[in-house]
Amino acid sequence: MSKRALKTYISKLPKKALEEQILELYEKFPAVKTYYDFAFNPKEDKLIQDAKAKIANEYFPLKRKRPKARRSVAQKFLKHFIKLGVDPHLVADVMCYNLEIALTFSMDKNVPDSFFRSMLNSFNELIQYTSVQGILPEFKERILKIYTDTQKQRWLFDDEFSKGLDIIDLD
C-alpha cells in the first residue's frame, strides 16, 4: 500500500475505528509500543545512561571474566536512538563514549586488528554524523582528543584515522 492510499484510507475512517486500530497496533507490535512509549515519555537521559552502562559492560564486564568488546552492541543502541528520534547531541555523546571506552580498554589489552578496523568505522561514523547533524563544532574537541589518544596508543590504521579528520577544519 502506498502512503497516498494509506492517507486516503485513514481519512475515511471514523475516529473510533482509527483509535481501535492504533491500540491494536500498540498491542501487537513491540516497535509501535516502543515508539509511543518514547513519544509520550522520552526519558532520553535514562536511555543514554542504560546504553552507556551496557557498552561499558562489553569492555569491562561486571559479571563475567572476559570482555567481549563488541562494537555491534553500541551500534544497535545508536541505530535504535536514531530511529526513535533521540536528540542528535545525545546520540553523538554515545558515539564518543563508545570510542573513549574502547581507548581505555585497549590501553592494557592485546586486541586483534579487527578491533581497530571496527573502531575506525565508528570514528568515521561519528565524524560523518556530527557533520550531517550540524553539531560538529560542539564535538570537535572531543573528536580531536579521541584521535590524539589513538595516536598515543599507536592504534593500527593511523593514516585512515587521520583521513577521517580531513572533514574537520583544524584552524
Ranges of each domain in the chain: 1-41, 43-167
The pLDDT-based confidence of 6 (bands split at 50, 70, 90) is confident
pLDDT at position 21 over 60: yes
Q: Is the pLDDT of residue 169 over 90?
A: no
- Quick one: angle between helices 136-152 and 88-107, nearest 10? 10
Contacts of 14 (CB under 8 A, 6+ apart): none
Per-residue pLDDT tens digits for 62-102: 888 888 989 999 999 999 999 999 999 999 999 999 999 99
Output the pLDDT for position 170: 52
Show the cell assigned to 149: 589518544
Q: Which three cell numbers stand for residue 51?
A: 546504553
- Asked if 10 and 18 count as a contact pair (C-beta separation under 8 A), the reply is yes
The pTM for the full model equals 0.84
Which residues neighbour 133 within 8 Å (Cβ) at sequence distance 6 or greater? 88, 92
Q: What is the mean pLDDT of residues 152-163?
A: 91
Backbone angles phi and psi of 113, in degrees to 5: -60, -35
Q: Give the pLDDT score at 171.
A: 42
